[in-house]
Amino acid sequence: MSDMSRRDFVKSSAAGLLPMAPRLRLGWTPAPAVRTTVGQDFCFMPATELAAAVRTRKVSPIEVVHAVYTRIRGINPRINAFCTLTEERAHLAAKEAEIAVMRGDRLGALHGVPVSIKDLLLTRGVRTMFGSRTRENYVPEEDAPS
């Protein structure tokens, strides 16, 4: 028996073929990249680089949120990865993040970087379906404990 870890096994097995899987469906075409003022697609930029670009004012958090939601609208109808979107909240948070940058406030390590929350975690005031249509209208009054 081999001493191969599960992680190594997955890396060396069929997981390497997964990026090709969507192309195997007939009629599949990749969603277009969202080009930005800095010429890079924010959706594929490492979070640390994106945060550094926000901190140094090379990139606006508002521009980042716009790019992310443009991409979500382009691909989510096909892959159904997001069941609840909070676009208005995201834009408000991006505006607040930009104001903090412009004021010179102390910023967190990932300041201005959008995040997605798995639908299995309680999110106060945001529909949380737990991956089931039976919870389609459930809006928790509290966040999941941290």
Segment 58-112, tens digit of pLDDT: 999 999 999 999 999 999 999 999 999 999 999 999 999 999 999 999 999 999 9
Do 124 and 145 fall within a single domain? yes
User: What token pair was written down for 106?
Assistant: 């102390």
Q: How many CB atoms lie within 10 A of CB 115?
A: 9
Whether residue 125 sits in one domain with residue 96: no
How confident is the model over 7-64, as pLDDT tens digits?
555 555 544 444 444 444 445 455 555 555 544 589 999 999 999 999 999 999 999 9
Q: Is residue 44 part of a domain?
A: yes
- Enclosing domain of residue 55: 32-104
| Residue 112 near residue 50 (C-beta atoms within 8 A) | yes
**How many domains does the chain divide into?**
2
> In the structure, what pLDDT confidence band is assigned to residue 146 with cuts at 50, 70 and 90?
confident
Residues 99 and 125 in one domain: no
